[in-house]
Amino acid sequence: MVRNGVQLITYADRLAGDLPGLARLLTSEPWARAFSGVHILPFFTPFDGADAGFDPVDHTAVDPRLGVWEDVAGIGADGDLIVDIIVNHVSADSAAFRDWRARGRDSDANGMFLTLSSVFPEGASESQLARIYRPRPGLPFTPITVAGERRLVWTTFTPQQIDIDVAHPRSRAYLDSILDAVARAGVAMVRLDAVGYAIKTPGTTCFMTDATFEFIADFTERARARGVEVLVEVHSYFRRQIEIGRSVDRVYDFGLPPLVLHALHTGDGGPLVEWFRVRPANAVTVLDTHDGIGVIDVGADEPAEGSPGLLPPAALDALVETIHEASGGSSRLATGAAASNLDLYQVNCTYYDALGADDRAYLAARAIQFFTPGIPQVYYVGALAGRNDVELLGATGVGRDINRAYYGAHDVERELARPVVRALMALCAWRTAMPVFDGAFRFSLDDAVLTMAWQAGSDSATLAVDLRSRAVRLGWEVDGVAGETTDLLADPPRLSPAGP
């Protein structure tokens, strides 16, 4: 079972160059004490394709430019390891798809890839096509010539990412081969990427339908049989996250990032504590990931009328504008239809810049995250309190690259010397070492003061954050020894003088 400590989310190449470099980094200080595990973003062949590794040509092979499976297994031996399984699609350059393109019905892969006609054999009406949910502009089809015949192939994300029929025997065998590969490498948990789009059912939104939940349950059973836990990644209406949490090991808490920003920017903690009342406890908590800051996760359910969100539309619009202002306008360059952005429901911005690069506000946000029930993950840019990389954005024209900076060894050393980064690493180490977070949780909101507390036997930890002033008080007691700080930046928590 994955431990309840802070985990790092990172690309191998963008933080440490390759997998051996990442292994060395994770076993050095302060990383080794701060993080109990790591989620390595796609390292499969190729790791630098059309969607930064999320379009694998061979999902069972480590890209040799990054390392080999033994490198992956070595990282897993030193801490909990999470990797991605892309269940919705494969690369257009994959051997199976190339064979189908060339041979069509004579290919062993015939039926593995979804087309308009395979999902709608009787044809699709305008209303049926209009109902399909997609996070990007236009319909999810790309015209491709297959064995001399022009076909409309289903491509939810980009034309390079070809959607598969997950019920097809060839597809099931393909997904099982990936599970076998990661299980052999000692992976503790897999993240199901884009699983919400995996099942296409005529007459539905083709997103998080009953059939999707059935597929998630089946895949989870197959993973557990190999000793691998399952983390589901779905950006959607918050009540669906609650439903998903009932059938899987872990679900992402994507509602937390915008609600914490709303609370710290407005002083209004009401929506945040309302989320605390209903959210799934078996969550992985994040403030930042390789994608943007989700908006859809706290908004109303678009396909269903009368389903309000955690934030009303006006507050959601105001939050987006506040992030743009806090970042000095740089996030606006990477969000919405700007910079070839693919996901219109996310704001592309580092979390540090989303809080105006305010050190104490940023540490307060992390403290709230670490006290929220679940296993906390910190994205590598966030771990280094990174700023928006406008230069990289300008070079690639890809909106999400504003929060996907490349760090060399000297860059990492420089960032680790900053007080806010040193304080965050100490806070991570404190959270990872504290046993109390497997105990009982309670929370309250008194005017603008949010209090979050954990109790396990005689051990305790309490966090109080004034959402208006962003002042923090953190107190704890472990084995009869008490500690307290009112300044996470100048006096980060430590369990003992020799502790983190």
Tell me the two tokens of residue 487. Answer: 């300044």
> What separation in angstroms does the CA of 83 have from each of 73, 94, 219?
11, 20, 15
DSSP code of residue 386: P
Determine the length of the chain. Answer: 500
Active site residue 391: no
**Would the annotation count 81 as a binding residue?**
no
**Would the annotation count 192 as a binding residue?**
yes
Question: Which are the contacts of 55, defined by CB distance < 8 A and separation ≥ 6?
Answer: 49, 86, 89, 90, 91, 92, 158, 160, 161
**Would the annotation count 297 as a binding residue?**
no
Give the CB-side neighbour count of residue 352, counting CA atoms within 13 A.
19
Q: Do residues 385 and 414 make contact, with C-beta atoms less than 8 angstroms apart?
A: no
Neighbours of 169 (CB within 10 A): 10
**Would the annotation count 470 as a binding residue?**
no
Q: Do residues 39 and 391 make contact, with C-beta atoms less than 8 angstroms apart?
A: no
Active site residue 233: yes
**Would the annotation count 191 as a binding residue?**
yes
**Would the annotation count 233 as a binding residue?**
yes
**Would the annotation count 256 as a binding residue?**
no
**Would the annotation count 369 as a binding residue?**
no
Task: List the strands of the sheet with 449-456, edge to edge.
Answer: 440-446, 449-456, 459-466, 472-478, 481-485
**Distance between CA atoms of 357 and 371, rounded to whole angstroms?**
22
**Distance between CA atoms of 236 and 196, rounded to whole angstroms?**
9
Of 193, 229, 297, 389, catalytic: 193
**Would the annotation count 80 as a binding residue?**
no
Q: Which of 313, 314, 322 is nearest to 293 (CA)?
A: 322
DSSP code of residue 293: E
Query: If 0-12 CB within 10 Å is exposed, 13-18 middle and 19+ buried, where does residue 336 land?
Result: middle
Q: Which of 219, 182, 177 is nearest to 198 (CA)?
A: 219
Phi, psi at residue 132, to the nearest 5°?
A: -60, 125
Q: Do residues 452 and 463 make contact, with C-beta atoms less than 8 angstroms apart?
A: yes
Of 71, 233, 249, 353, catalytic: 233
**Would the annotation count 345 as a binding residue?**
yes
Helix (H, G, I), strand (E, B) or coil at 98: helix
**Would the annotation count 193 as a binding residue?**
yes
**Would the annotation count 352 as a binding residue?**
no
Q: Do residues 377 and 9 make contact, with C-beta atoms less than 8 angstroms apart?
A: yes
Query: If 0-12 CB within 10 Å is exposed, 13-18 middle and 19+ buried, where does residue 344 land?
Result: middle
Binding-site annotation: residue ranges for substrate: 51, 89, 191-193, 233, 290-291, 343-346, 400
Binding-site annotation: residue ranges: 51, 89, 191-193, 233, 290-291, 343-346, 400
Residues annotated as catalytic are 193, 233
